Amino acid sequence: MKTFIIGCGSIGLRHAKNLIKLGYTIDYIFDIDNDKASKISDKFRAIKMKNTIEGMKKSDVVFICTPPDTHTKYMKQAITYQSHVFCEKPISNDKKNLIQILKEADKKNIKIMIGYMLRFHPGLIYVKDLINSGSIGKILGGQVKFGYLLSKWRPGEDYRKNYFSTKKTGGGIILDASHEIDYVRWIFDEIKSVFCISSKVSDLEIETQDYAAIIFETISNQIVEIHLDCVDYKYERSCRIIGSEGSINWDFNGKISFNKNNSSKKITKNYILNDLYIQEVGHFMKTIKLNQKNISDGWSGLKTLDLALASISSSKTGTKILV
């Protein structure tokens, strides 16, 4: 399969390297920054395209690794030219035209996958299996947290020039940290209501929100609290799930504690970070070959976007939003 990478920043480079590790070639690349495109082109002997449409015409699979406000445009192009799509999260920053695009992709049997790599984290997979097996009884609720100072996210890059910093490009902690929103949907039930308070509380030079407190109510009346920020000097990514017969704690390092009947069991699911990205891309390419549904398709990505946008709307209006 001929591959086309749009966007030659850090995530585009990561996917390019991982495709090579999986035995694929990087055939075409495009970036509005010609210097970035040239570096990737030289590194992987890929053909640098003058525009995205020419690349779409020649490729079988497109990797969209650009700011969220460009995703819808590139997905529409890919579907027009019969290319499968791996799109970095979130699926977009705006729902406009997305339903039509996803329906057209289904009609043409074009696969779309959204890059929520936490679904491949061995610790979260283990937690999901524990929940599904009824190990802690009926799930009542939970707390989810992500926090880390924005200026530390991409060493060597000026955060003020990143899409996170502006509203127009789809920045802000709620959209950018939608991994947490996505895995709440995956681990708990689907969501029926959203309430959120968010704001810019720091001195970071951005125009978007950097701190958010979100409360989800699921269709089975679970209450899930989500804390998101990009101001904490210490990296933290974790969750706690509370059941009628016990609780589970998980953190990004793979440490899990399972508490039940006044006893506690601790395990660690060791992993290499890049393996999550390799596994998600490998999974996507396999589903194309086998004509199977993937674990994080466009419709799932749309549901996650709905919740992110509802959170933003709730924060603006100060009201609970039914979804």
As annotated, the residues of the chain forming the CATH 3.40.50.720 domain(s) are 3-110
Please, which pLDDT band fits residue 49 given cuts at 50, 70 and 90?
Answer: very high
Q: What is the rounded average pLDDT of the residues 44-54?
A: 96
Please, which pLDDT band fits residue 259 given cuts at 50, 70 and 90?
Answer: very high
Residue 31 has pLDDT above 90, yes or no: yes
Q: What is the rounded average pLDDT of the residues 169-195?
A: 97
**pLDDT on residue 156:** 86
> CA 271, CA 121: separation in Å to the nearest integer?
8
Residue 261 has pLDDT above 90, yes or no: no
Residue 282 has pLDDT above 90, yes or no: yes
**pLDDT on residue 155:** 87
Reported as a single tens digit per residue, the pLDDT across 125-157 is 999 999 999 999 999 999 999 999 999 998 888
Residue 311 has pLDDT above 90, yes or no: yes
Encoded tokens for 179: 């991994």
Q: Which fold has domain 118-270+304-322?
A: Dihydrodipicolinate Reductase; domain 2 (3.30.360)
> CA 321, CA 234: separation in Å to the nearest integer?
32
Reported as a single tens digit per residue, the pLDDT across 70-101 is 999 999 999 999 999 999 999 999 999 999 99
> CA 163, CA 172: separation in Å to the nearest integer?
9
CATH class name, domain 3-110? alpha beta
Q: At CB < 8 A and 24+ separation, what contacts does 73-80 make?
A: 74/6, 75/101, 75/105, 75/112, 75/298, 76/101, 77/52, 77/53, 78/110, 79/104, 79/105, 79/108, 79/110, 80/56
Mean pLDDT of the chain: 97
Cis status, amide bond into 90, omega within 30 of 0: yes
- 93 by DSSP, 3-state: which? coil
As annotated, the residues of the chain forming the CATH 3.30.360.10 domain(s) are 118-270+304-322
Which residues, 6+ apart, have CB-to-CB distance to 258 below 8 Å? Answer: 130, 135, 136, 246, 248, 264, 265, 266, 267
**pLDDT on residue 91:** 98
Reported as a single tens digit per residue, the pLDDT across 210-227 is 999 999 999 999 999 999
**pLDDT on residue 211:** 98
Please, which pLDDT band fits residue 262 given cuts at 50, 70 and 90?
Answer: confident
Predicted TM-score (pTM) of this structure: 0.96
**pLDDT on residue 236:** 97
Residue 178 has pLDDT above 90, yes or no: yes
